[in-house]
Structure formats: structure tokens, C-alpha cells
Amino acid sequence: MKFFIDTANLKDIQEAVELGVLDGVTTNPSLMAKEGIKGTDAVMAHYKQICELVDGDVSAEVIATDYEGIIREGEALAELHPNIVVKVPMIRDGVKAIRYFTDKGIKTNCTLIFSAGQALLAAKAGATYVSPFVGRLDDIGADGMQLIQQIVDIFSNYGYPTQVLAASVRHIPHLIQCAELGADVVTCPLNVITGLLNHPLTDKGLATFLADHKKVNG
Ligand code: G3P
């Protein structure tokens, strides 16, 4: 399973890189805004900085919602760096654009996936990744994990190469359930990744080992 970090914060990305477990990055316009990145030049420069930090795919989202605009923005993003994956929303013109990018060999991530049908359509258009948002489904009382299971099953039934990138992953149980269900990738904030380090019995056991060593060795 691949671990992506879901942030545009360079410090968090660097920390995940240093842990040695990071396979890629996902961003979205809200995460870019959270870092105070504004204006096309600054946005492009920031994506480039992220790509230089990480040896893996970096999803950069288009803002346009019309076909020509998505193509124009996506091509400019793809030219920035070979790590860029063009992130396109699940809308009619987005699906058409995914087909165009796929035919040109440009990687895509179809975002804002909330149903198995949307995921199937994105896979048919050739998306590299689909991003079902599990946390936001849970927020409205639906079952994010059930959607992951459906998409994993459907892609496996037909051997679609599109990867299931579980997004809006908010906590460790989400991540572990995605792993159990066979999601190809999870993207989550740094605290979910580093949270995997923790277990009270590890802390207790280590304290005992070090205390016993000290008793004998001083
Ligand atoms: O990858 C999509 C993600 O950023 C959405 O997460 O927590 O805002 O639903 P969240």
C-alpha cells in the first residue's frame, strides 16, 4: 500500500519524507489556500517545490471546470515536473479531460468521488487514480469504507489499472480499514501517518528494557 500525505505544507512533507515511508503527495485548492499560496505563479512555484521534495506522484488540482480550461491548466501543471499528476474533479468536462490526458500520457487523479458509479466512469476514462472521500461520506452518515470495498471489488473484477486512492482519511482506523480492503493508496495528514508509531505497550516495554539495562550497566 502506498502512503501519500494530504497537505501543501512543506515542513510536514519534509517530515514524512525523512521518516522514509512517503510515496507521494496530494493537494487541493483548500490545502493550498491554507498555506496562503495565492496567484498562479506562486501556486506553480509551490508545486515545483513539493515535487523537488518527494520522489513520487504529486497531485495538483485544476481550478477550471470547463473542458478547454481543464486541458489548459492541466497541461501547464504537467509541464512543471514529471511527478505531477493532474487532479480533475468528477464532472462531465472533467471525465472528458481525463480521457484527453490519458491519451496524451499525462497522469490523472479524479477527485471528489462519492459513488461506485463515479469511480467506474473515471476508470473507463483511463484515470490513473480515483479519490473516494471516505471521511466526508462518514460526515453525512454514509459509509466511506463500504465505498472503498465496492470500488476495489469492481476494479478487481475487470482488471482496471486505475488505482484506488482513499482520500479524506481522518484517523488510524480509517487507514487500517483501507489497508484491509485493499485500497492501493491512502492519503492523509501527517498526524495519521506518525500516529501509526504509537502503542502504550511499546513505550512501557522500552522503558523497562532501558531501566533493566541501566541497573546492570549503570
Ligand atoms: O484528499 C482530499 C482531502 O483533502 C479531503 O479531506 O478531511 O477535507 O475531507 P477532508
- Whether ligand 1 lies within 6 angstroms of the CB of 29 is answered as no
Mutate to test the pocket of ligand 1, among 136, 175, 188 (most ligand atoms within 8 A of CB): 136
Mean pLDDT of 143-162: 98
Q: Whose alpha carbon is nearest atom 5 of ligand 1?
A: 168
Mean pLDDT of 69-85: 98
Residue 151 pLDDT > 90: yes
Q: 167: CA distance to ligand 1 center in Å?
A: 6
- Whether ligand 1 lies within 6 angstroms of the CB of 187 is answered as yes
Q: Residue 61 and residue 2: Cα distance in Å, rounded?
A: 20
Query: What is the structure's pLDDT at 31?
Result: 97
- Whether ligand 1 lies within 6 angstroms of the CB of 109 is answered as no
Q: Residue 188 and residue 81: Cα distance in Å, rounded?
A: 23
- Whether ligand 1 lies within 6 angstroms of the CB of 130 is answered as no
Residue 36 pLDDT > 90: yes
DSSP helix/strand/coil, 143: coil
Residue 26 pLDDT > 90: yes
Q: What percent of the chain has pLDDT over 70?
A: 100
What is the pTM for the complete model shown? 0.96
User: Which active-site residues does the annotation give?
Assistant: 87
Query: What is the structure's pLDDT at 170?
Result: 97
Q: 55: CA distance to ligand 1 center in Å?
A: 22
Q: Whose alpha carbon is nearest atom 4 of ligand 1?
A: 168
Cβ atoms of 144 and 125 closer than 8 Å: no
End-to-end CA distance of the chain: 43
Domains and CATH numbers, the chain: 2-217 (3.20.20.70)
- Whether ligand 1 lies within 6 angstroms of the CB of 133 is answered as yes
Residue 218 pLDDT > 90: no
Q: Whose alpha carbon is nearest atom 3 of ligand 1?
A: 168
Mean pLDDT of 202-209: 98
- To the nearest 10°, report the CA torsion of 72, 108, 130, 172: -110
Q: Residue 110 and residue 126: Cα distance in Å, rounded?
A: 10
